[in-house]
Each structure stands twice: as structure tokens, then as C-alpha cells.
Amino acid sequence: MAKGEFAVELKGVTFSRGSRKIYDNVDLQIPRGSVVGIMGPSGCGKTTLLRLIAAQLMPEKGQVIVNDKNLPSLSRSALFEMRKQFGVLFQSGALFTDLNVFENVAFPLRVHTKLPDEIICDIVLMKLQAVGLRGAIELMPDELSGGMKRRVALARAIALDPEILLYDEPFVGQDPIAKGVLVRLIRLLNDALGITSIVVSHDIAETASIADYIYVVGDAQVLGYGTPDELMNSTDPRVLQFMQGSPDGPVPFHFKAPNYQEQLLGKRK
């Protein structure tokens, strides 16, 4: 059966943490084969959105449709199978510290397949070649720079040839060279492998340089959606403030809190 136009769709998704609503009746569509950025102020729920898409979290209501299947309606075993279609690059890289580079990349292949060691070796070498680290197969994670760790983690994320690749703040803590390499790799791998990439990031310039479309989220809703150029010229002051990095505008710097003076005086009583 032919797959639909969208790799991921959120329909009427609502999700809260305690009394705080993170998303309220949100709709979102990720076109298949595209690079889509998810951006917004700190604490607005961007990583939460990735976890909803990967079914690590379930919405209170609404549908999370991945490759035409509504994840909240799937059984535990069906969800396990669906997750094989995802590759995830975590903020920290999340490499296994007691395994060398080769074994880190081989790990998902050993867990999810019954391939012989010779085939696993070939796949690991191909994935490390794609990220420029084939020569580092015997190194341990603590022997790698921050940028190298992130690239090894990327090789591991694509080991199973996922259909959807999720990036959680891939550029954080990277020097300009490592950041440039990662930016190029995200776009190159997306096009070469024919996958769909979802990039959560605060780095406007880097994300805009590779994204086909960007969602700006905040206030428990989608504030804006479009190409990078369209969002840079948005008429919505909240979107424009974020895209331009302006300190003044409708998006406050301070997290919602009680009156400052009353709170200070209250502590003295």
C-alpha cells in the first residue's frame, strides 16, 4: 500500500504535565522526505514533541500518526516494531561509555536483527564512513571530542536505515567546525537515504540553512509554519521575535511566576 504524503501527522493533540498544558489541540504535518525544523522558546515543549512522535509519551487526546498508523492505538508489541522505523540523535549523544565506537554503532543491529557478524561489520563501517569516522572504530567514547561523539551517535542512529530521523538539539555545545559538519551531514543523509528528518534546535541560522520547512511552537500551540524565508518575513510578532532573536516583544523572558515583590515580602513573614 502506498504511503501518504506525510510521514508524521499530529491531529488535535493535547498533552499536559500536571496542571501545565504543554500542547492544546495541536495539528502538525511533516512532509515525507523533507527536513523539518521544530523551533521555539526554551521550555515550550520541543523535546516533548519529539517524544510524542516517537511514542515515548502518549497524548491525553488526539492522534499521532506515523506512516499512516495512529501510535496511541497500537499494542505494546506493535509499538516496538514501529520504533524500528525511527533513528534518534539525543542531545548528549548517549553513547555507551563501556563500548568502543564500533560496538556503539553495532548495538542496534545486534538487538534488532539476526545478521551475521560479517554483515554487521560491513554495515558499521559504511555508517561510520558516512559520518567520516571509519578510522575511529577502536576508540572509546572518552577518547572522542564532543563533535566526534555526536557523529558516532548519528552513525548509530542510521544503523537500521530508519525512515524517520529525530534530532534533539544536534548543534548544542559544538564548535563552529563540528557544527558545520553536522549541518551538512543532516542534509546529505536526508537526501542520500531518502528519509524524513525532524530537527529540534535553537540555532536559527543552522536550522534555516537546511530545513525545507520550520514549525515555531509556543504557548501550547503552533505559532507559525512555513519555509525559513516565509517565517523570517512573518507578520506574527511572536514568530518574528523568535526568528530575529529580539529580546523585546510579546514572548516574555521570565517564566510565569507570582508577583516578585509579594513573594519576597511573603518569605519574611
Residue, of 160 and 173, whose pLDDT is higher: 160
> What whole-number distance in Å separates Cα of residue 51 and Cα of residue 74?
16
The span from the first CA to the last CA of the chain, in angstroms, equals 68
What integer pLDDT is reported at residue 11 of this predicted model? 94
Q: Looking at the domain assignment, is residue 1 inside a domain?
A: no
Cell 501518504 -> residue: 4
| Backbone φ, ψ for residue 71 (5° rounding) | -60, -40
* Percent of the chain with pLDDT strictly greater than 90: 32
Highest mean pLDDT among 120-124, 200-204, 214-218, 253-257: 120-124
Residue type, 17: R
Distance CA 71, CA 214 (A): 23
Exposure of 114 by Cβ count < 10 A (0-12 exposed, 13-18 middle, 19+ buried)? exposed
Residue 193: CA count within 13 A, CB half-sphere: 24
When divided into structural domains, the chain yields a total of 1
pLDDT of 14 strictly over 90 = yes
Q: What CATH number should be reported for the domain holding residue 176?
A: 3.40.50.300
pLDDT tens, 41-81?
A: 777 788 899 889 988 889 999 999 998 899 988 888 888 88
User: What does the DSSP 8-state code read for residue 255?
Assistant: P
C-alpha cell at 243: 526568528
Q: What is the mean pLDDT of the chain?
A: 85
Q: Strands of 6-17's sheet, edge to edge?
A: 20-31, 6-17, 61-66, 69-70
259-269: pLDDT as tens digits:
777 777 776 55
Query: Which of the listed ranges 57-71, 141-155, 241-255 does the model predict with the highest average pLDDT?
Result: 57-71
Query: For residue 236, what pLDDT band results from cuts at 50, 70 and 90?
Result: confident
For residue 24, count CB atoms less than 10 angstroms from its CB and return exposed for 0-12, middle for 13-18, buried for 19 or more.
middle
**Helix or strand run (H / E) with residue 224:** strand 221-226
One-letter amino acid for residue 229 of the chain = D
Residue 12 pLDDT: 94
Phi, psi of 240 (to 5 degrees): -65, -40
Q: What mean pLDDT comes out for the span 125-140? A: 90
How many C-beta atoms surround the C-beta of residue 122 within 10 A?
11
Q: What angle do CA 53, 153, 90 make, to 5 degrees?
A: 40
95/104 Cα distance (integer angstroms): 7
Scored b (16 or more CB within 10 A) or e, 252-262 reads eeeeeeeeeee
Q: Which three cell numbers stand for residue 198?
A: 525532524
Q: Answer yes or no: are the C-beta atoms of 165 and 189 closer than 8 Å.
A: yes
pLDDT at residue 247 in the model: 62
What pLDDT score was predicted for residue 1? 37
- Expressed as residue numbers, the domain containing 119 is 6-268
* Assigned domain for 190 exists: yes
pLDDT class of 174 with cuts at 50, 70, 90: confident
Max mean pLDDT among 178-187, 220-229, 241-250, 259-268 falls in 220-229
What pLDDT was estimated at residue 125? 94
Region 165-174: mean pLDDT is 83
Grid look-up 563501517 returns 125
pLDDT, mean of residues 18-36: 91
